[in-house]
Structure 1
Amino acid sequence: MQSARELLEVSRKTKKVGDSKKITFLGVDGFDVYNITAPFQLEGCKMIAGRVEKRDSEASFIAFFEEIDLTTYKRIQGATELELQDPFMTFIDGELILGGVETFPSPEDATKLSWRTNFYSVKALNEMTLFFSGPNGMKDLRLKQLHNGEIMVLTRPQGEKGGRGKIGQLRIRSLDELTIARIEAAPLLNGNFSNEDWGGANEIYELETGEIAVLGHIAFFDEENNRHYYPLVFWLEDDTICRPKIIAERSDFIESPAKRADLVDVVFSGGLVFQNENAILYAGISDASAQYLELDNPFKKVGI
């Protein structure tokens, strides 16, 4: 894959974006809400899950918010709230699967944090069951049930296998086959991130054409150790990342505060809502707020 800087050059010449709007979350005074999901339906209610956190802390929890209007959501009282970061969701066999990142003291050094991706089956907003925890040290683990019933699993190892973070893939026939051993053994995709960059998947889509497309992110550190995160889309052809492109950047969104100075240029992909030729990207902004951005449907050339 081209580097993030190279992809950004192309994006600035070709992308078409519209208006952005900040999303207000009611019922969480004194806390920021960021790194949200796209809106989804459950129990007859349109809602968003988001990471809730104080500006000066990394201790976070996932809360659920009911839509009041397109830019306003209200915390749902009585819903289970999980001590996780960066929520995401999918449906498998008709059941909502909620995921998020758990942090905990590192087994090797208790003064440092490690993390893993946890998955919950959601019967109702107050009835959630943890059914799987991924490998220690792995974020951006994603699931998608395809039309043929198979479940695609995208992984994100780091270290000796994945460097700063690359995407791997495996297929399983049911959630019973989801194991740490299989995730760790999943081969990396061809056309992956350069060694200077890192990234991961955020949502997986099966297009009307049968093609698989992915919304993810690509990131790098600059010379001052500032982070730069960009929403990325690509097509997945067998075991190869194809046609990657950055679809937005921080300057496409309205100004808002950042959690820290090194996080100003961060857009963390949450999800896409498709509207014929257009789409709405929901994203976390600078680790301090959430916005949505209208843009061209990034997959419209092949249909969705």
Structure 2
Amino acid sequence: MNAKDRKEKFEQNLDVQETSLLNFEGMEGWDVYNCSQPFFYKGKWYSYGRIERRKEWMRSWVRLFERTDQNRWSLVDDSMHYQLEDPYISFVHDQIVMGGTHVQVVEEDVLKSYFGYFYYGQDLEDLKYFTTGPENMKDIRLVELADRRIGVFSRPRNKKLIEQYGSESLIGFTIIDSLADLNAHVIENAEILPDLFGSLEWGGVNQAYLLDSGKIGVIGHLSYKEEDQSIYTVMSFVLEPETLVIANYKMIATSKSFAKAPEKRPHLKECCFPSGIIYHNEDYCTLYSGVGDTCEAVTKIEYPFKGYGKLINPQFIDLRETR
């Protein structure tokens, strides 16, 4: 089934129970969107957010926000400015690992290239740069495995992939022993995970979770073009890291799953770029996502990995069921 048919079938049965746009205090005049997975750290919930003025393009920074109330977040004063887009977070070998996309331009609004930058440390106020991904690759994600090795998801993109796989952007996976092993060569040579995308579709991993079964739960995006629109939907699957067997691949949200938001540009009316989930119990979780490249939204969904394992990272679990 192609992505368009998946979307139509999903929306026919869609029952939106709770959804809201997030409010970011202290950011008047700026959009905050495509945030990192929310995470629990030293008794508080945090998230890194991409900030950008509505009329600007490829001129983003990443800042740290703290949750102050349900659906309300405040800028952490004096937190670091990172010149990145679309931040992501993971916890590996007792280190906080934060990454994002660094864009290089030829001139204003004209893209030259982009790279994934990575920072690590044990203190949110003191993360240090440690490596760069391959040129023109976004959506590189890390997850600590049950044996303490590190799973690495890549997102190769080039025209040659169309000839072999029918899509110019795919997902790869490899395993390394330590953060010191993470570099552009290792990422670029990750093994392709086949059969995730149909002809001219594309996508990537947005957040990966170790489950108590030892498998990896993945939240990602599944995208395609339809007339003048770039359609971004939210998908999930479960990966067995040793055999690379994929199970339970499905669509879990579309733009209709979230509160209505304005779009940054006309072709982004149905764009949702997921941040990740907070696990509440085996039945449901809250899914966070950027929408329209202008806002961050949250919606209540069924736990997508039910039957395959529970999330075990305490940083991503909230049994109090609040947002």
**Matched residue, 2:203:** 199
The answer on whether the counterparts of 1:16 and 1:295 sit within 8 Å (CA) in structure 2 is no
**Matched residue, 1:291:** 297
Q: Distance in 2 between matches of 1:243 and 1:46?
A: 29
Change (3 A) 1:205 1:125: closer
Q: Distance in 1 between matches of 2:246 and 2:265?
A: 32
1:13 deviation in Å? 4.6
1:241 deviation in Å? 3.3
Change (3 A) 1:291 1:240: same
The answer on whether the counterparts of 1:191 and 1:240 sit within 8 Å (CA) in structure 2 is no
1:260 deviation in Å? 1.2
Match of 1:254 among 252, 256, 259: 259
Q: Distance in 1 between matches of 2:101 and 2:111?
A: 16
**Matched residue, 1:230:** 233
1:227 deviation in Å? 0.7
- Give the unaligned 5+ runs of structure 1: none
Aligned partner letter, 1:214:
V
TM-score by length of 1: 0.93
Deviations 1:58-89 (A, max 9, x none): 21100111111121111001111101000110
Partner SS for 1:181: helix
Partner SS for 1:127: coil
Q: Distance in 2 between matches of 1:195 and 1:185?
A: 23
1:241 equivalenced with 2:240 (yes/no): no
Partner SS for 1:124: coil
Q: Distance in 2 between matches of 1:67 and 1:90?
A: 18
TM-score by length of 2: 0.88
Partner SS for 1:247: strand
Identity of aligned residues (%): 30
Deviations 1:135-156 (A, max 9, x none): 0100010110112111000100
Aligned partner letter, 2:46:
M
- Give the unaligned 5+ runs of structure 2: 311-323
Deviations 1:77-110 (A, max 9, x none): 111110100011000111110010000136xxx9
Deviations 1:218-249 (A, max 9, x none): 0011122x110011001113224333111111
Change (3 A) 1:303 1:239: closer
Partner SS for 2:127: strand
**Matched residue, 1:146:** 145
1:221 equivalenced with 2:225 (yes/no): yes
Q: Distance in 1 between matches of 2:248 and 2:85?
A: 29
The answer on whether the counterparts of 1:229 and 1:267 sit within 8 Å (CA) in structure 2 is yes
Change (3 A) 1:10 1:111: closer
**Matched residue, 1:19:** 18
Change (3 A) 1:17 1:211: farther
**Matched residue, 2:319:** none
Q: Flag as ranges the 4+ runs of structure 1 deviating above 3 A.
A: 13-17
1:57 deviation in Å? 0.7
The answer on whether the counterparts of 1:231 and 1:246 sit within 8 Å (CA) in structure 2 is yes
Range with bigger deviation, 172-181 or 120-129: 120-129
The answer on whether the counterparts of 1:164 and 1:195 sit within 8 Å (CA) in structure 2 is no
RMSD between aligned alpha carbons?
A: 1.7
1:14 deviation in Å? 4.9
Aligned partner letter, 1:88:
Y
Aligned partner letter, 2:256:
S
